[in-house]
A and B are shown apart, each in its own frame.
Chain A
Amino acid sequence: MTVTAAMFYLFAVLTVGSAVLVVTTRNVVYAAFSLMLTLCSVACLYVMLHADFLAATQVIIYVGGILVLVLFGVMMTSGKLDMKLRMERGRLIPGSLVGLILLALLIRIIYQSPWQVQDTNMLESTTKSTTQSIGESILGQYLLPFEIVSVILLVALIGAVLISRKEVKEIEES
């Protein structure tokens, strides 16, 4: 087994295993921390796919930002007592059925589609680093989406502040 293969299997198992924990554990905090493991191992998979910039972005934004937000949410909305997650049995069986069928379908598609796999060394042979290429595409081909995304971020920021702000105001009034 080559190093690459070994590392792939390691991170793939980590990703899937921790993701299973995310959806099955009964403790929200455990779920959040397993999600951290999932996100980090996905970042490692990105590195293996030569997307190093993306991997760093994933860790900075997902782990350092979104996950911290989620954890804050968890800690603010649940006391120590109702940390337990309820899973409705009524939904468990249809849910897993749908999931399994979908998974089988997807894997069948994955292995039967004739993928147009290119020469895999193309990216590695170019002199540009991925960071440079990404930078150039952001300010070139993807300038419009980039600007739209920044507007969306701004809107989300203001919206989030507004939603949580409402409650503060009412406290002041009362």
Chain B
Amino acid sequence: MADLRTEEMELNMGPQHPSTHGVLRIVLKLDGEIVLDAEPHIGYLHRCFEKHAENLTYPEIIPFTDRLDYIAAMNNNLGFCVTVEKLMQLEIPERAEYLRVLVAELNRIASHLLAFGTYGMDMGAFTPFLYAFREREHILDFFEAICGARLTYNYVRIGGVARDVTDESLKLVEKFLEDFEPHVHEYNDLLSYNRIFLKRTVGVGILSPEAAISYGVTGPNLRASGVHWDLRKDEPYSVYDRFEFDVPKANTEIGEIGDCWNRYMIRMYEMIESVRILRQVLNQIPDGPTMAKMRAAIRPPKGEVYMRTETPRGELGFYILSDGKNKPVRVKGRSPCFTAMSAFREISRGLMIADITAVIGSLDIVLGEIDR
């Protein structure tokens, strides 16, 4: 009796829509308010990153990685540099490694704060957004102090970091960490355990662990589905193996494994873990140079390399094919948001329109990285 259905309505969500987190277009097939199918159309932010990279020297590519995931540019810098260093088998000075972890974890917090704030906004709560920005501001102040930029840093370089930090700027971090932890509890009181918020997110948009793995979903989204996998623990790069921290996993206390609430909450837990790492970094940070000794022109040996790092959004991988010249032959980025987005269609079937924004927000996508 399929012809008895009411008419399906096709609804164009985006590219200009308040809650698609960038320029994403989703074609919804609706039966009333129920979503029968949601087909994402991407590519509005395509900037030919991979093709550009073929015509640039290695250090010149780093600013382009800033613009992939512009919310967590430090992590992108780090991912690319670590890949080139792996190809060159370069030894990095201790202090530089610690600084890299410092900025990466701070940027992780900044990125998760943004995810938290915009998610509140997707749910109709406007205020948490500005609270999140208040804290993010401190982190950006620190970044400004160390590299002069607030969004696209170009701070992590091949062989180390661009500049050393002063003790005063490290004080900024210390002060921020002291302020920040109580604020996370404030956020939890304000939004995370709000009855209406729970109603909107618990049990909505469930991504099963099997589906998550088969779609290649990584990062917080994967851990929210109950899979214990964090590259910082399981495939440590930089000096992550020296720090003590837990990898938060989805809990069934309130939500179901893999629902929007867990995807949201995992980020709140991760911020606390990042604070733990940052405290250890500040305690252990050694003195020394911040740049490895190497030749000015970077020419990695012939060969290919694939290296993946854990960004706030998941597994960011770079594949580089080098022919020994100062420009790569081929660069390929593996974007965590892209795989998260590919799972979106399956998650969203049978939900309501309002849940679509809940799912997109909980996946925490950045279109700059999906489209590259």
Contact = CB atoms under 8 A, between A and B. Distances in A.
Interface string B1-44: 11011110000000000000000000000000000000000000
A174 B7 contact: no
Interface residues of B, number: 6
Nearest to B2: A174
A170 interface: yes
A160 B218 CA distance: 49
Question: Which of B1, B2, B7 has the largest count of A CB atoms less than 10 A from its CB?
Answer: B1
A8 B36 CA distance: 54
Nearest to B7: A79
B7 A171 contact: no
Nearest to B6: A76
Interface in B129-151: none
Contacts of A76: 6
A167 B1 CA distance: 10
A79 B5 CA distance: 15
Interface in B284-331: none
A73 to B, nearest CB: 13
A173 interface: yes
Interface string A140-174: 00000000000000000000000000010011011
A172 to B, nearest CB: 10
Interface residues of A, number: 7
Nearest to A166: B4
Nearest to B31: A171
A170 B1 contact: yes
Contacts of B6: 76
A173 B4 CA distance: 11
Contacts of A79: 7
A174 B5 CA distance: 10
Interface in A95-118: none
B7 A170 contact: no
A95 to B, nearest CB: 32
Contacts of A171: 1, 4-5
Nearest to B5: A171
Contacts of B5: 171
A76 B31 CA distance: 12
B4 A167 contact: yes
A174 B31 CA distance: 15
B298 to A, nearest CB: 61
Contacts of A174: 1-2, 4
Contacts of B4: 167, 170-171, 174
Nearest to B9: A79
A44 B5 CA distance: 42
B1 A173 contact: yes
A169 B98 CA distance: 62
B68 to A, nearest CB: 42
B349 to A, nearest CB: 15
Nearest to B3: A174
Interface string A37-53: 00000000000000000
A76 B6 CA distance: 9
B56 to A, nearest CB: 52
A55 B4 CA distance: 41
A173 to B, nearest CB: 7
A173 B2 CA distance: 10
Contacts of B2: 174
Nearest to A174: B1
A171 B5 CA distance: 7
Contacts of B1: 170-171, 173-174
A37 B5 CA distance: 34
Given A170-B1, A173-B1, 10 more contacts: A76-B6, A79-B7, A167-B4, A170-B4, A171-B1, A171-B4, A171-B5, A174-B1, A174-B2, A174-B4
Q: Which A-B residue pairs are the 4 nearest by beta carbons?
A: A174-B1, A170-B1, A170-B4, A174-B2
Interface of A: 76, 79, 167, 170-171, 173-174
12 contacts: A76-B6, A79-B7, A167-B4, A170-B1, A170-B4, A171-B1, A171-B4, A171-B5, A173-B1, A174-B1, A174-B2, A174-B4
